Amino acid sequence: MMKTTTLAIWITFTLALVALIPAQAKDEVVRLSYPSKVEASKGKEREKLFSPWMTSESLRTFIEQKRAKGEQIVFFEYNNSNGQSRAIFASKLKLSGPFSRWSFTSEAAMEEKLNNEIKAGLQPAFIARNVSGAYSMLFVSPGDLVAVRNELKALGVGEPRLKK
């Protein structure tokens, strides 16, 4: 009788443990992405709108100055060979929620940040990979996503595609 009870407890425990494993895996959804398509045909138009190349710290200050004037960053590039960035701003766009911008030189780091920002409630407006191989990403609140993507579409920057 003791042997049967011990076996029954062990089987029940094992089944409960196995049932928990898939639940934990579902919590760790990894989202991989395909970068936004950036139309070459609108490259000359975008080029005219870019700020000068500057350091990350200078760009951070420049973004705040532009926001104070009613302009919002909508697109940027990072050059990993010189560590500088440049950006395009929109004057008719007013974000109501938080935003963040990130640059990475590795796909793994970009994917990790993508997951973290989505878990934090932000959505990728664009994910671009430029000629230097660096990834640039802009995240906005879900309420601002349509307006930002409309601005990006006018610039020839498509939506990133996420795969689950």
The predicted-structure confidence for 89-119, as pLDDT tens digits, reads as follows: 999 888 899 999 999 989 999 999 999 999 9
pTM, to two decimals: 0.77
Residue 53 has pLDDT above 90, yes or no: yes
Residue 2 CA, chain-centre distance (Å), reads 57
Sign of CA dihedral 55, 61, 66, 72: positive
Give residue 137's pLDDT band: very low, low, confident or very high (50, 70, 90).
very high
Percent helix, percent strand, percent coil in the chain, to nearest 5: 45, 25, 30
What is the pLDDT, as a whole number, of residue 92?
A: 87
What's the longest Cα–Cα distance across the chain?
Answer: 84
Q: Are 116 and 29 in contact (CB under 8 A)?
A: no
